[in-house]
Each structure stands twice: as structure tokens, then as C-alpha cells.
């Protein structure tokens, strides 16, 4: 090769790397070179393993999904699929399991984004959803229909921190012959491993605790191979893929996941206990509190005495007081999302659950002044001091 253009494009012969890199490499490429036309055909047809195109599969992105699957299921049986966001993971999972005329059962306290997907988007394609109080197992069982395709739950509800009775709900799904899928984002595998309690699929917004540094967006689903193949097909067809650079950042976060989440959960319990005793507060939602309706259930299901790192506080004075609390914060950041090293807070009805009307919010147990606080890695006394001084400005 002598032409400048050719040499600029192809460069010199690449040196082989014979040593294993300590950190997995980032395969920042859209496509892969194969050895022959036949090998290309065989890999595309699935007759031979390999990589072809990063919208389909990418080694960096798949390595991240594999790592999450290993955390969720140390036996190594479960597999994972990577997505560009948590909502991408939720969307592809529901599309894979449902079709026109399908019925979904979901909790009244479901995440606002999931609620919007079910009511505003999937409903247009003939997929109907019944929202039930999933703390009532009999009501949940009664909601099952012949065309029910999915029982959807959340390990920890956003923002009420209601705990799902995973074994009880799994039994309902098993009896109905339908998959039981949970959004495990608020727990992470450090707090709870849903597959150990009869859940078929665990969905995560990896943007939150798995990545943990508020610098990457992604999602992941973990479960048995047969279901995951269906979900992968939808991911490929819709293009909801996870970019390799994002995947590398998310995988870096996994190394410190147990340390971060343990510290965040411990701090959250301290903050929740103190706020629950403040007369300016109507309600504090955190399962570590003995007063929380699901404290005993959480103690049975959750690992290591950890109860999650989100605290929802509703100050006296309703919506205006909640907004004033947000405005009074000095250390805690006014920002959406959760699970990062920096503590963040939002007024729930006007942000994460904006798609819900007042009646739907009330049915989900979300008070008008509810403020969701995602606990970070700051010192507990500093966070508590900031929240207490902000309460005084309501």
C-alpha cells in the first residue's frame, strides 16, 4: 500500500496483544471483519459464534450484561442482555412477552416511566394493563385473565419503597403459567437477588446503582436463556442497543457496587430514622423503619440487613412544602435519577411521576408533597443537617 489515502485509512499492520489486559478493552467499533464470505454467512445465521455489527452485539456491551447476570445469579445459569437505557430494557421486555390483545398486571405504584409506556404507548397496540395493589395477593391473583401475558412488579416501588412479596407473587405467576418480571433497579443485586425468590426476569436501569457515578446511561435484563433470546430479538430489531463506551463506564461501576450500596443503604437508614421523628414531616418511606408496612418482609427478603438507599419524605404542608424543601437544599442536588455518589432530590409529582394525574398518584400512595431523596456517599450527618435546615424553610 503506497497511496496516502490507503495508508491513512488502513494504517500499519496491527501488533497482536498476547497478554490479557487487566481491564476489559472497549470495542469502539460499529462493525467487525470476518475471515471469509462463508464465515460471514455462518455468523449472521447463528451457525457460528462471532461478532458482526454492534447494533446486534458488541463484546464490551455483552461483557457488562454478563457481569450483571453473574451478580444476580452466581450459579452462572442466568444470562443478560444490554440496552441503551432502563426504559429501553423495559420496553423490549414487554414487547417480547406481549402481542396484540395481551394483558399485563402491574402494581399501582409502578414507576412513572413504565406507567406511561403501558398507558400511552403499548395501549395503542392492543395491550391492556390492570394496575392492582400488589400488596394484596388475592387481588393480584383475581386480576389474572386468560390473555394475561406478564405479571410485572418492582422489588422496591418508586418512590414509596413498598416491598414486593416476591415468593407470593411468583407463586401466582407460576400458577397462571406466565412470566414474573420485576424492576430491580432500586435494590440492585447487593440488596436483593430476585431470581432466588422465583422471579423469571430482573430488569435494571443500569444508569442508577450499577453504574453508580451519574455519567452513563444503560439498562440490562437478566434471566433464563429461552426468555432472553426473545428479548434479544426485540433489542436487535428496535435498535435499543447499549453503546460500548457507556458499557465500559457501567462495568467500571460494578467493581465498587457492593461497597457503594452498603454505605448508601446504611446512611439512608440513619436519615430515615431521624426524619421520621421530625414533627414537620407527615410521612417517611423507607423499609428500615419498623413503622414501614413492609419492614418484616424486607427483613426476610433483603440481604445483609440493607433496605435500599432511597428515602421519600413528605413534609407538612402538601405540594408547596415539598417544592420549598427542594428549593431549600444546599448540599443535596436538585436533580433527577438516583443511585450515584452524589445525593439528589426531586419533587415526585412534578418530575418522575409527572405523567400521572392526581387520582393515579393518590392510588399509588404518592402524597402531593412527596420528595424522593437518593442517598449518595456524603457523610450522614451532613446530609441530615441539610435536609433538616431545608425543612425549616417550608
Say yes or no to pLDDT of 94 above 90: yes
**pLDDT value of residue 13:** 87
Say yes or no to pLDDT of 258 above 60: yes
The stretch 107-132 carries a mean pLDDT of 96
Strand 281-285 and strand 310-315: the pairing is antiparallel
Q: State the CATH class of domain 257-391.
A: alpha beta
Say yes or no to pLDDT of 91 above 70: yes
The stretch 324-331 carries a mean pLDDT of 97
Round to whole Å and give the CA distance between 220 and 65.
6
Between the CA of residue 366 and those of 134, 181, 298, what are the distances in Å? 15, 23, 20
C-alpha cell at 367: 402524597
**pLDDT value of residue 244:** 98
Residue 129 has φ and ψ, to the nearest 5°, of -125, 135
Span 17-36, pLDDT tens digits: 889 999 989 999 999 999 99
Those residues with Cβ within 8 angstroms of residue 300's Cβ, 6 or more apart along the chain or in another chain: none
H helices within 277-377, ranges in order? 295-301, 318-328, 358-363
From the candidate CATH numbers 3.40.640.10, 3.30.465.10, 3.90.850.10, 3.80.30.20, the one assigned to the domain spanning 37-254: 3.40.640.10
The stretch 248-257 carries a mean pLDDT of 98
Identify the sign of the CA torsion 223, 229, 234, 236.
Answer: positive
User: Domain residue spans in the chain?
Assistant: 37-254, 257-391
Mean pLDDT of the chain: 95
**pLDDT value of residue 52:** 95
Between the CA of residue 375 and those of 52, 265, 271, 340, what are the distances in Å? 41, 8, 9, 8
Helix (H) or strand (E) holding 139: helix 137-142
Span 137-182, pLDDT tens digits: 999 999 999 999 999 999 999 899 999 999 999 999 999 999 999 9
User: What percent of the chain lies above the pLDDT cut of 70?
Assistant: 99
Identify whether the C-beta of residue 272 lies closer than 8 Å to the C-beta of residue 295.
no
Amino acid at each position: 500500500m503506497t497511496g496516502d489515502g490507503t495508508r491513512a485509512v488502513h494504517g500499519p499492520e496491527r501488533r497482536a496483544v498476547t497478554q490479557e489486559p487487566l481491564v476489559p478493552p472497549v470495542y469502539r467499533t460499529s462493525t467487525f471483519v470476518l475471515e471469509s464470505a462463508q464465515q460471514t454467512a455462518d455468523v449472521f445465521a447463528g451457525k457460528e459464534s462471532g461478532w458482526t455489527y454492534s447494533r446486534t452485539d458488541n463484546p464490551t456491551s455483552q461483557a457488562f450484561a454478563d457481569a450483571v447476570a453473574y451478580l444476580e445469579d452466581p450459579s452462572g445459569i442466568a444470562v443478560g442482555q444490554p440496552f441503551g437505557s432502563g426504559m429501553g430494557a423495559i420496553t423490549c421486555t414487554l414487547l417480547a412477552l406481549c402481542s396484540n390483545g395481551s394483558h399485563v398486571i402491574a402494581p399501582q405504584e409502578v414507576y412513572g416511566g413504565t406507567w406511561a409506556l403501558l398507558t400511552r404507548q403499548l395501549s395503542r397496540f392492543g395491550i391492556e394493563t390492570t394496575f392492582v395493589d400488589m400488596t394484596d395477593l388475592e387481588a393480584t391473583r383475581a386480576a389474572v385473565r386468560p390473555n394475561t401475558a406478564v405479571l410485572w412488579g418492582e422489588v422496591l416501588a418508586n418512590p414509596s419503597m413498598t416491598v414486593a412479596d416476591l415468593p407470593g407473587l411468583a407463586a401466582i405467576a407460576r400458577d397462571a403459567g406466565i412470566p414474573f418480571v420485576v424492576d430491580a433497579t432500586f435494590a440492585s443485586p447487593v440488596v436483593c437477588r430476585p431470581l432466588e425468590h422465583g422471579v423469571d426476569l430482573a430488569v435494571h436501569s443500569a444508569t442508577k446503582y450499577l453504574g453508580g457515578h451519574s455519567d452513563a446511561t444503560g439498562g440490562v435484563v437478566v434471566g433464563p436463556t429461552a426468555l432472553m433470546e426473545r428479548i434479544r430479538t426485540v433489542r436487535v430489531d428496535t435498535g435499543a442497543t447499549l453503546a460500548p463506551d457507556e458499557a465500559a463506564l457501567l462495568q467500571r461501576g460494578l467493581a465498587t457496587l457492593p461497597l457503594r450500596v452498603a454505605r448508601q443503604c446504611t446512611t439512608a437508614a440513619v436519615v430515615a430514622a431521624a426524619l421520621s421523628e421530625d414533627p414537620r414531616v407527615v410521612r417517611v418511606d423507607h423499609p428500615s423503619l419498623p413503622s414501614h408496612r413492609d419492614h418484616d418482609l424486607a427483613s426476610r427478603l433483603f440481604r445483609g440487613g440493607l433496605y435500599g438507599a432511597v428515602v421519600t419524605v413528605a413534609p407538612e404542608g402538601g405540594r408547596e412544602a415539598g417544592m420549598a424543601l427542594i428549593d431549600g437544599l444546599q448540599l443535596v442536588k436538585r436533580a433527577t435519577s438516583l443511585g450515584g455518589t452524589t445525593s439528589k432530590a426531586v419533587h415526585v409529582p412534578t418530575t418522575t411521576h409527572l405523567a400521572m394525574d392526581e387520582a393515579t398518584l393518590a392510588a399509588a400512595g404518592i402524597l402531593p408533597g412527596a420528595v424522593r431523596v437518593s442517598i449518595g456517599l456524603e457523610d450522614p450527618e451532613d446530609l441530615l443537617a441539610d435536609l433538616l435546615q431545608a425543612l425549616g424553610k417550608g
